[in-house]
């Protein structure tokens, strides 16, 4: 784990956007395309607009979410709606977006339609994880019955989860699919997130705090981008 600390979210977002642009443009130069996985929630909103305003060969970039609430994509709490409104704008409007939504009876029934979209993608270039105050990341929640399946090394790329401590069924990328990335970041803004990070580093059980599976991975180092405000 490599901790990068910034005085505030503006400084963090400028530096983070620069690091992401270097990663994405290197991927485009070397492989002709780049894949970026982003998280939902409140934390990434300012980063999204910084990225959207930045010049890049966005038409060669594929963007998808680490997770989404199982809601129609126009719903207020849809992460897809948030990404479309804040990231897929200006320059970044040319990026190719892969949705984690498919119409079905529920999230579990939707997985067979969504899985091939994500399973078919090559190794990601960058994954930006978020973290809730309960230590969840993506939609791998400590309270959900599907957590062990989502953390399994041989898990399929996508699964449905049903948190008991948060609303909505979810579609989440599995730990295995998220770790299949050249760079992994954890994006944390707010003083409330620091004690959660310390708690996650103080013990090892990912069933208690799923973010530990990433922070304490034996062979993968993740960059934690933290600003207190």
Ligand X SMILES: O=C1O[C@H](COP(=O)(O)O)[C@@H](O)[C@H](O)[C@H]1O
* Interaction site with ligand X (CB under 6 A): 39-43, 66-67, 79, 130, 132, 139
Nearest approach, Cβ of residue 59 and ligand X (Å): 25
3-state SS class at 19: helix
Cβ 48 to ligand X shortest distance, Å: 12
Nearer Cβ to ligand X (56/66): 66
Cβ-based nearer residue to ligand X, 35 or 39 = 39
d(CA 173, CA 119): 10
The 10 Å Cβ neighbour count of residue 191 is: 10
Q: Which is nearer to ligand X, 28 or 136 (CB)?
A: 136
Cα separation, 109 vs 207, in Å, equals 25
Instruction: Find the shortest distance in angstroms from Cβ 57 to ligand X.
Output: 26
- Structure-token pair, residue 222: 């993740």
Query: How far from chain centre, in Å, is Cα 184?
Result: 9
DSSP 141-187: -TT-TTHHHHH-TT--SEEEE--SSSSS-EEEE-HHHHHSBS-EEEE
Q: Please report how close the Cβ of residue 84 comes to ligand X at its closest, in angstroms.
A: 15
Q: Which residue number, 28 or 179, has a Cβ lying nearer to ligand X?
A: 179
């Amino acid at each position: 784990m490599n901790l990068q600390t910034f005085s505030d979210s503006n400084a963090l977002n400028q530096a983070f956007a620069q690091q992401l642009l270097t990663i994405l443009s290197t991927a485009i130069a070397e492989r002709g395309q780049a894949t970026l996985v982003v998280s939902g929630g409140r934390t990434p909103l300012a980063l999204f607009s910084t990225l959207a305003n930045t010049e890049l060969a966005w038409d060669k970039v594929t963007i998808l979410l680490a997770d989404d609430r199982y809601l129609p994509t126009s719903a207020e709490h849809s992460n897809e709606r948030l990404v479309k409104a804040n990231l897929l704008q200006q320059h970044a409007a040319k990026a190719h977006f892969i949705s984690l939504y498919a119409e079905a009876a529920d999230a579990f029934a939707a997985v067979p339609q969504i899985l091939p979209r994500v399973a078919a993608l090559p190794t990601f270039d960058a994954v930006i994880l978020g973290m809730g105050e309960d230590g969840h990341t993506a939609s791998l929640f400590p309270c959900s019955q599907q957590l062990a399946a989502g953390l399994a090394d041989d898990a399929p790329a996508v699964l449905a989860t049903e948190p008991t401590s948060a609303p909505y069924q979810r579609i989440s990328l599995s730990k295995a699919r998220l770790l299949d990335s050249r760079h992994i970041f954890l994006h944390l803004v707010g003083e409330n997130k620091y004690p959660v990070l310390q708690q996650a580093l103080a013990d090892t059980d990912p069933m208690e705090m799923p973010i530990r599976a990433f922070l304490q991975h034996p062979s993968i180092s993740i960059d934690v981008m933290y600003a207190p405000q």
